């Protein structure tokens, strides 16, 4: 296997930025995503492409998981195969043939689910991919957990690291909560899914409280239990009261915008995501 040259991510990024400045090159969002896709194809080829191509079971599993029919190579593609041996791999062609970046990202997540691909090969692939995301400078976050790899739209870097990535690590010990929180992230920034995202954020927080407080009460009925719990953790009265006040408004927002209506403004979804992350992080660090 050809080894990918590994230099500092920051060094590679700085070199590209300096080149673009010297030549007055300003990439559009579409050009950045195209650059990322090309990097994905290169990373796929040098890391896991041969392993998947030589194993039809791998190819079949990828398409079974992704839920589409596996496209076989046709006679007219033979010249392409001669120029690029990966062209007779249906999985490679899935990435090469689409210009829909959400389909590309779905395919990347599916690779993390595959059981027919060695974990070491997957780890190498995603290690390279993390560098590709950084160098392409696209608004995409990748979080590798113990069980899978999750991609979601990037927001503020510090908030993503503290409120999303850290929470995903901690929530792994609460499987039900983790599953719903992850589902909210996967649908975040998808038009028409605002209500589902906000509702799943609420549900994930409610499940976390039930686990931590060891009861089956709904979110809005946890006031006394939260107060008692925070008191045992030596949380100041002011912070404890503030926590419940925020949670009380959080519950009212959910009831008004989600439970009884479908009126979640698109520009409020990110606020609810980070607010949920803040509330969760506070509890999880206690």
Mean per-residue pLDDT over the chain, rounded: 86
Same domain, 116 and 212: no
Instruction: Say whether both 125 and 192 belong to one domain.
Output: no
User: Is 22 in the same domain as 119?
Assistant: yes
pLDDT in tens, 35-68: 999 999 999 999 999 999 998 899 999 999 999 8
Q: Is residue 130 part of a domain?
A: yes
Q: Looking at the structure, do residues 32 and 108 belong to the same domain, yes or no?
A: yes
pLDDT tens, position by position, 160-172: 887 888 889 899 8
CA distance 12 to 192: 37
Please indicate, yes or no, whether residues 239 and 123 belong to a single structural domain of this protein. no
> Binning pLDDT at 50, 70 and 90, where does residue 94 land?
very high
Among 72-81, 130-139, 147-156, 236-245, the minimum mean pLDDT is found in: 72-81
Regarding whether 132 and 38 lie in a shared domain, the answer is yes
Domain that holds residue 70: 9-138
Res. 80: pLDDT tops 60 = no
Same domain as 191, residue 108: no
pLDDT of residue 71 exceeding 60, the answer is yes
- 83 and 197 fall within a common domain: no
| Domain assignment present for 39 | yes
The reply to whether 16 and 120 lie within a common domain is: yes
User: CB of 261 within 8 A of CB of 254?
Assistant: no
| The total number of structural domains that make up the chain | 2
Residues 50 and 121 in one domain: yes
pLDDT of amino acid 258: 87
* Dihedral sign (CA 11, 96, 114, 178): positive
- Is 249 part of a structural domain of the chain? yes
């Amino acid at each position: 296997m050809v080894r990918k040259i590994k230099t500092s991510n920051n060094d590679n990024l700085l070199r590209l930025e300096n080149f673009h400045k010297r030549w007055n090159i300003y990439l559009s969002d579409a050009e950045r995503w195209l650059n990322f896709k090309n990097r994905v194809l290169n990373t796929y080829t040098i890391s896991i492409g041969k392993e998947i191509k030589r194993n039809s079971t791998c190819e079949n599993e990828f398409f079974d998981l992704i839920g589409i029919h596996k496209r076989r190579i046709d006679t007219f593609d033979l010249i392409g195969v001669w120029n690029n041996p990966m062209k007779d791999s249906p999985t490679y062609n899935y990435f090469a043939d689409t210009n829909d970046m959400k389909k590309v990202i779905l395919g990347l997540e599916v690779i993390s689910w595959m059981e027919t691909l060695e974990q070491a090969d997957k780890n190498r692939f995603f290690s390279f991919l993390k560098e590709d995301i950084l160098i392409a400078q696209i608004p995409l976050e990748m979080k590798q957990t113990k069980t899978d790899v999750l991609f979601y739209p990037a927001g503020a870097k510090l908030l993503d690291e503290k409120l999303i990535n850290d929470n995903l690590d901690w929530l792994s010990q609460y499987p039900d909560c983790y599953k719903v929180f992850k589902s909210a992230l996967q649908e975040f920034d998808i038009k028409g899914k605002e209500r589902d995202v906000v509702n799943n954020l609420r549900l994930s927080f409610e499940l976390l409280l039930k686990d931590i407080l060891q009861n089956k009460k709904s979110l809005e009925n946890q006031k006394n239990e939260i107060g008692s719990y925070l008191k045992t953790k030596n949380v100041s009265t002011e912070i404890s009261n503030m926590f419940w006040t925020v949670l009380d408004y959080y519950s009212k927002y959910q009831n008004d915008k989600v439970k009884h209506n479908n009126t979640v403004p698109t520009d409020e979804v990110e606020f609810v995501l980070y607010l949920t992350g803040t509330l969760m992080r506070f509890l999880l660090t206690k």
